[in-house]
Amino acid sequence: MTESPRPSDPGSGPADRVPGTLTRRGMVLGGAAAVAAAAVAFGTPGVASAAPGGAASTATTAQRPGLPVLSRIRSRDLAYDYLDLRMDEYGSGSAPRLPRSYYGGYFASLPTEFVSSFAYDDSLMVLAWLARRRRGDVQRATALGDALLSLQAADPIGDGRTRASYQPDTFPVATPPRPIDIGSPAAYTGNQSWVGLAFCRLYAATRQRRFLDGALRLGTWIETNARDDVRQPAGYTGGRNADDQPITYKSTEHNIDVTGFFTQLAQLTGDRTWARRAALAESFVRAMQDPTDGHLWTGTDPDGTTINRTPIPEDVQTWAYLATLDRRYAASVTWVLDHLTAHDGPYTGPSFSDTDTSKVWFEGSGHLALALEARGARGDQARAATILDSVQLAQRTEPNGDGKGIVSASSDGLDTGFGDLYYASLHTGATAWYLLAVTGSNPYRLDRSDLR
């Protein structure tokens, strides 16, 4: 769990959840900005089965109902423009550099400018650029990947880890003896996996061996520092905290991330050892599925065994399906529709968890839309299109927006239930997830073209 040295640093780590500390995505905040207008509903169907074999939908932008095709394409391109803007704030061309994760809104009101760059968000940006793969996209993805590689290589512990966040305004890494500027120093298993997923996709796109080498170092770090097949259910623990002490809980989200990451390592290297390790992580995810309605619990308490049942987050429900395309997790996607749908003024979509369903979490909108498209059950494409329409509406109308990027939450003060809040501030992570959804790119799965 993040123990940030910066009072304005919104933590790290997908399921790095211990009361009173900050997570990857949220930060303690007072006050809220209400948005008033009529709500748009998208319905809550019963449990639907996935398409045969769990195959991903091949629908194109032109096949989606909702806004006109040109409008959706224009929205997509504007969102890419936002990622480009953030990436080029501290450099240009092929020079390695880091983008700030959050911009404007609450963050503009802080006494000291908040510019932290979160490795999770950076990884999503790489994956989003590689989903479109224009020349400039690949150049920026490569430059950001090289920045993360340089931070991995320059880490003061030097065991292959990356950290939760860094400061982009002091990057690149200075000539020794000046150390790298780490924002949040914890090394979470989920974050290592997301950086690894970005490196895997970069290797698949560029065939530059340095990215696969970086991914293998991260995978080895996870295996060395987080594997726990003693305390049942077996799986991977949370990593190392800010004081470099073991994090002993097991997170469902972290194990989902490991499942996808290690599967890709197996595919890219041909080493079946990684596939066996991925199966261990996925076995933990299966153990966290409730048999009554199919939703997934957040993970375990620090004892590594007792199930943590409060709160129930959105991300594990949709990511389990995306990482595996296994029909057993089709019900968890439906659970999100039935239990986490939020209406906030004109905006509709999933909230972060069952703690607070009064505001939309737009990063989760990307998760959910992509999972619905992949599941392909009756009505799923229409539901996904309605969710994406609401994100596009926020892109155009959110008071803290710029007409390009996507804000993290529909209003300030979205309570995650894990001790932190989200804000209606522009967010590279939310923007990248929107782009993954509109391009139909599943970050957990390599395409056939990636494996040639």
Whether 48 and 374 have beta carbons less than 8 Å apart is answered as no
Residue 178 region by backbone torsions, left for phi larger than 0, else alpha for psi between -120 and 50, else beta = beta
φ/ψ of residue 14, rounded to 5: -55, -45
3 state DSSP class of 422 = strand
Q: Please, how many CA atoms are within 13 Å of residue 350, restricted to the half-sphere of its CB? A: 33
Which residues are within 8 A (CB) of 443 and not within 5 positions of it... i.e. 6 or more apart? 124, 127, 197, 201, 260, 322, 436
What distances in angstroms separate CA 65 from CA 68, 368, 435, one per listed residue? 8, 16, 17
Distance CA 142, CA 197 (A): 14
Helix axes 428-438, 380-397, angle to 10 degrees: 140
pLDDT in tens, 156-189: 999 999 999 999 999 986 555 567 899 999 999 9
Distance CA 161, CA 214 (A): 10
Distance CA 400, CA 142 (A): 30
pTM as predicted: 0.87
- Write out the DSSP string of 24-84: SS-----------S-----------PPSGGGPPP---GGG--SS-HHHHHHHHHHHHHHHH
pLDDT in tens, 112-132: 889 999 999 999 999 999 999
Distance CA 164, CA 156 (A): 14
What was the pLDDT predicted at 451?
Answer: 81
Mean pLDDT rounded to a whole number for the chain:
86
Which residues are within 8 A (CB) of 279 and not within 5 positions of it... i.e. 6 or more apart? none
List the one residue out of 184, 174, 273, 181 whose CA is nearest residue 220. 273
Question: Residue 343: in which H helix or E strand, if any?
Answer: strand 341-344
% the chain with pLDDT above 90? 79
pLDDT in tens, 323-382: 999 999 999 999 999 999 999 999 999 999 999 999 999 999 999 999 999 999 999 999
Q: How many CB atoms lie under 10 A from the CB of residue 55? A: 12
List the one residue out of 97, 105, 85, 114 whose CA is nearest residue 11. 114
Query: Which tokens is 236 given?
Result: 């991977």
3 state DSSP class of 165 = strand
pLDDT bracket for residue 63 (50, 70, 90): very low
Distance CA 98, CA 86 (A): 9
List the one residue out of 414, 420, 426, 352 whose CA is nearest residue 114. 426
Distance CA 110, CA 112 (A): 5
What was the pLDDT predicted at 69?
Answer: 54
pLDDT in tens, 306-329: 999 999 999 999 999 999 999 999
